[in-house]
């Protein structure tokens, strides 16, 4: 959780109520003018070895606009889909929030955007190559890879960008000491998916890498010849040494991080801090996924002056190196009769590693989260929610001025082995203020929940005009998980 996954953009700032929504077709336009429309469209960004943009198919998704009924609630105006990727609704005036779903894995998540613009554009970014297909579970990969120098205990990995897989060689898969080659076969069951989805078949659109690390620094890399996976494939070639010819000079403020976390409630501890340099094909979308080039853990007593070298052998693929300064703290809680759950607070930023960079984690850290004025400042709370009334949710942060304020509701469910509770997102909201109104139906009595508050600084240069598709660096994020709570009805 030090490197927070991509945050689902959603918002409902300024919504009066979502409870008791009525269906309507919206107001009629004057007879002598075409109906004025609001619209929402999405492109799909397949982030693989390159970024491939295409219209997002919305045929299995839904969208509706939330329009004030003039009293104390909202009317629901269904949007019509113009295939494949644009929703419109005949609403003559205003900038109403829009509620919609996208084809998330494994199930769609309901989102609401309340950006003050009538034409909204977004990107549904996915780590994938276009039109992925499942990898055959009986597949094998055979490696015949020469090393740039005799093996001396370094970490060796397979890493595919596009199918987004990773395998760390271990045990008998590793060369003998002073060996000069990787000569082994691995099965699909030992390959990890980096997306959380089932494994995708490797295609010739992907970049399959075999990499070597000395500590946290990339020292060797092979970019394998492209291939379409058949089920029994061989990756061969000679790994090249990575020249450490790039210099990172940056300033961070490690001593300032712990005191900021000390103000959060519930309290968190176990401070972890590190910086990373990553080669990423997705930097133009403010995405930092890709092979690590260098990294170092940071202690609160460190000076904060970074002077390090690294190499980027993937520049020929168009992958930029980005710098990430990442921190977090966490806490554990075990609900009665349930396995434990781990909750987090975090701050990070991603930027270009320009000489003399100063990284100060400027996004405002959320400090407390409340439901109907009840502050969720400890784990194990019981929150009474009236199913006939809307629910006000808000958070207080270190300061105002975020580009986006987000709030995400997670149900806590057991993992496959019932050894821990994990997060399952229920709903997502975003707006320019940290105050939201949501339907009571989102909260089911007897279930365990966590709310996550997120402040995002920068990264959306066109948000004022409704452009949420254009992204840029720097990206600065701070987040806090509320106390674990159970819902009861009065």
State both tokens at 142: 């055979």
- Average pLDDT, stretch 108-117? 89
Q: Answer whether 67's CB lies under 8 Å from 335's CB.
A: no
Give dist(CA 125, CA 135) in Å, integer.
21
- Tell me, rounded to whole angstroms, the distance of Cα 248 from its chain centroid: 26
61 vs 269: CA distance, rounded Å? 40
Q: pLDDT category, 445, cuts 50, 70, 90?
A: very high
Asked if residue 21 lies in contact with residue 342, where contact means CB atoms within 8 angstroms, the answer is no
Q: Are 421 and 479 in contact (CB under 8 A)?
A: no
pLDDT of amino acid 97: 86
Number of CB atoms found within 10 A of residue 198's CB: 12
Residue 112 is given by DSSP the state: E
Strands 140-146 and 232-238: parallel
6: confidence class by pLDDT, cuts 50, 70, 90:
very low
Q: Provide the strand spans (E) within 175-268.
A: 181-187, 192-193, 207-214, 217-223, 232-238, 240-241, 246-251
CB within 8 Å of 221: residues ≥ 6 apart:
209, 210, 211, 212, 239, 240, 242, 291, 313, 314
Q: What number is the average pLDDT over the span 437-457? A: 92
pLDDT, position 73: 65
pLDDT at 7: 26
When the pLDDT of each residue in the chain is averaged and rounded to a whole number, the result is: 91
Q: How far apart are CA 228 and CA 136, in angstroms?
A: 13
The pLDDT-based confidence of 75 (bands split at 50, 70, 90) is confident
Q: What is residue 74's predicted lDDT score, i.e. its pLDDT? A: 72
Query: What is the reported pLDDT for 215?
Result: 97
Q: In whole angstroms, what is the distance from residue 200 CA to residue 40 CA?
A: 30
Mind listing the pLDDT tens digit for each residue in 390-405? 889 999 999 999 999 9
Of the listed ranges 108-117, 257-266, 442-451, the one predicted with least confidence:
108-117
**Cβ-based neighbours of 8, under 8 Å, separated by 6 or more:** 104, 109, 111, 408, 425, 428
Q: Please provide residue 188's backbone torsions phi and psi, each rounded to the nearest 5 degrees.
A: -60, -30
């Amino acid at each position: 959780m030090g490197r927070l996954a991509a945050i689902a953009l959603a918002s409902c700032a300024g919504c009066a109520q979502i409870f008791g929504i009525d269906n309507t077709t919206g107001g009629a336009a004057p007879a002598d003018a075409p109906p004025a429309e609001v619209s929402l469209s999405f492109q799909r960004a397949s982030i693989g070895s390159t970024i491939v943009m295409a219209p997002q198919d919305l045929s299995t998704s839904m969208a509706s606009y939330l329009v004030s009924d003039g009293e104390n609630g909202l009317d629901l105006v269904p949007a019509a889909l113009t295939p494949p990727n644009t929703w419109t609704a005949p609403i003559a005036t205003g900038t109403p929030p829009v509620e919609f779903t996208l084809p998330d894995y494994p199930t769609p998540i309901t989102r609401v955007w309340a950006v003050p613009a009538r034409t909204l554009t977004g990107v549904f970014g996915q780590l994938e190559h276009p039109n992925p297909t499942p990898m055959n579970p009986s597949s094998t990969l055979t490696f015949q890879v020469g090393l740039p120098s005799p093996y001396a205990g370094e970490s060796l990995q397979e890493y595919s960008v596009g199918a987004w897989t990773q395998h760390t060689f271990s045990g008998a898969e590793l060369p003998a000491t002073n060996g000069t080659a990787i000569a082994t076969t691995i099965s699909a069951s030992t390959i990890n998916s980096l997306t959380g989805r089932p494994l995708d078949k490797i295609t010739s659109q992907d970049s399959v890498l075999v990499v070597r690390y000395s500590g946290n620094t990339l020292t060797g890399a092979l970019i394998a010849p492209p291939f379409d996976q058949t089920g029994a494939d061989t990756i061969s070639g000679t790994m090249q040494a990575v020249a450490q010819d790039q210099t990172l000079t940056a300033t961070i403020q490690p001593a300032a991080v712990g005191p900021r976390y000390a103000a959060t409630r519930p309290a968190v501890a176990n401070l972890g801090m590190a910086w990373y340099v990553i080669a990423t094909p997705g930097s133009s979308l403010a995405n930092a996924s890709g092979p690590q080039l260098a990294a170092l853990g940071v202690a609160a007593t460190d000076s904060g002056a970074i002077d390090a070298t690294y190499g980027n052998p993937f520049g020929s693929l168009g992958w930029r190196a980005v710098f990430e300064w990442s921190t977090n703290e966490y806490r554990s809680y075990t609900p009665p009769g349930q396995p434990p759950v781990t909750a987090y607070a975090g701050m990070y930023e991603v930027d270009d590693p320009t000489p003399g960079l100063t990284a100060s984690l400027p996004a405002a850290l959320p400090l407390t989260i409340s439901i109907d004025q009840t502050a969720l400042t400890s784990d194990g709370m019981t929150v009474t929610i009236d199913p006939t009334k809307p629910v006000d949710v808000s958070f207080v942060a270190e300061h105002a001025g975020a580009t986006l304020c987000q709030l995400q509701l997670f149900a806590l469910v057991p993992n496959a082995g019932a050894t821990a509770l994990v997060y399952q997102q229920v709903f997502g909201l975003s707006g320019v203020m940290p105050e939201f109104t949501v339907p009571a139906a989102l909260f089911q009595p007897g279930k365990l929940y966590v709310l996550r508050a997120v402040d995002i600084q920068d990264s959306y240069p066109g948000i004022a005009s409704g452009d949420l598709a254009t992204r840029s660096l720097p990206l600065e994020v701070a987040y806090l998980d509320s106390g674990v709570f159970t819902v009861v009805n009065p």
